């Protein structure tokens, strides 16, 4: 079946531009996560949705970062007035609900969007 | 910043060798996950661990959830060239769903 897809795969933005990164989770997955991965580091949590509700946005580094998932499927991460320190790979992950109704903690990642701010 | 300490940072492998790596933390985690990431790709889930002391295998990979709940170990037996890549541990605390990742262990082939 189809995995998590992200677009664009690569984005170059001039400092000060706004960017929008898209994530299509695995069909039927309830939870969706965004992570930021700097070069040579592990992913760092940005924000988490359960269906359309944004339950945790504690990792968003500034108010220039905004994420939405209006219909509980596709999600968009928007970065306003990009800065050089925003250059990183942005990863999206999704996870399902188990038959028991319990949320799975296994997260499945997309290929990421590499953002370069010049 | 990273809250999980992964070691070693990098290692060289020769085909057929067994490989061990670990992840430690100063705080308790309720779930441990191990991922592998190839260049230009997202992390791929290898093994998930849910209970202290749990030992789980996936082919040539075996991972353990430490008894103290503050560490986890990954072993790869009889390594093959396609095992090269970056291995990440990730932990989930008791409350919340977000994962905390280590900085990764880079596996390279000995030439």
B29-83: pLDDT as tens digits: 999 999 999 999 999 999 999 999 999 999 999 999 999 999 999 999 999 999 9
Q: Work out the minimum CA distance from B70 to partner chain A, whole angstroms.
A: 18
**A66 interfacial to chain B (CB closer than 8 Å):** no
Of A1-15, A97-111, B19-33, the least confident: A97-111
Q: How far apart are CA B105 and CA B87, in angstroms?
A: 5
What mean pLDDT do residues A53-66 have? 96
CA distances to A89, B6, B87 from B42, rounded to whole Å, are 9, 19, 12
Task: Say what the pLDDT of residue A101 is.
Answer: 67
What mean pLDDT do residues A45-49 have? 97
Q: Are A82 and A13 in contact (CB under 8 A)?
A: yes
Average pLDDT, chain A: 94
Band (pLDDT 50/70/90 cuts) for residue B110 is confident
Scanning every residue of chain B, which has its alpha carbon at the shortest distance from the alpha carbon of A31? B97
**B19 interfacial to chain A (CB closer than 8 Å):** no
Quick one: tokens of A65?
A: 């970062």
Q: How far apart are CA B48 and CA A65, in angstroms?
A: 30
**Which has the closest alpha carbon to B20: B87, B101, B85?**
B87
Q: Work out the minimum CA distance from A114 to partner chain B, whole angstroms.
A: 9
Q: Which residues of A touch B96 (CB under 8 A)?
A: 56
CA distances to A2, A77, A88 from A57, rounded to whole Å, are 27, 12, 18
Q: Are B87 and B19 in contact (CB under 8 A)?
A: no
Helix (H, G, I), strand (E, B) or coil at A55: strand
Cβ distance A107 to B99 less than 8 Å, yes or no, reads yes
Task: Say what the pLDDT of residue A98 is.
Answer: 72
């Amino acid at each position: 079946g189809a995995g998590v897809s992200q677009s664009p795969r690569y984005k170059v933005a001039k400092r000060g531009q706004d960017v929008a990164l898209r994530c299509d989770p695995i069909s039927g997955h309830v939870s969706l996560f965004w992570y930021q991965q700097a070069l040579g580091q592990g992913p760092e949590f940005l924000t988490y949705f359960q269906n359309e509700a944004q339950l945790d946005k504690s990792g968003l580094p500034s108010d220039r970062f905004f994420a939405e998932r209006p219909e509980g499927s596709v999600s968009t991460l928007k970065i306003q007035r990009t800065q050089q320190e925003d250059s990183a790979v942005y990863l999206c992950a999704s996870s399902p609900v188990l038959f028991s109704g319990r949320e799975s903690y296994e997260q499945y990642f997309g290929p990421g969007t590499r953002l370069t701010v010049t | 910043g990273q809250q999980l300490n992964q070691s070693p940072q990098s290692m060289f492998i020769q085909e057929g060798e067994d490989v061990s790596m670990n992840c430690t933390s100063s705080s308790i985690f309720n779930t441990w996950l191990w991922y592998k990431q190839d260049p230009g790709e997202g992390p791929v889930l290898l093994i998930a661990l849910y209970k202290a002391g749990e030992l789980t295998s996936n082919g040539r990979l075996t991972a353990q959830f430490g008894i103290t709940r503050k560490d986890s170990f990954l072993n790869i037996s009889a390594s093959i060239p396609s095992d090269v890549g970056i291995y990440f541990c990730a932990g989930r605390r008791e409350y919340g769903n977000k994962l905390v990742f280590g900085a990764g262990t880079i596996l390279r082939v000995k030439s």
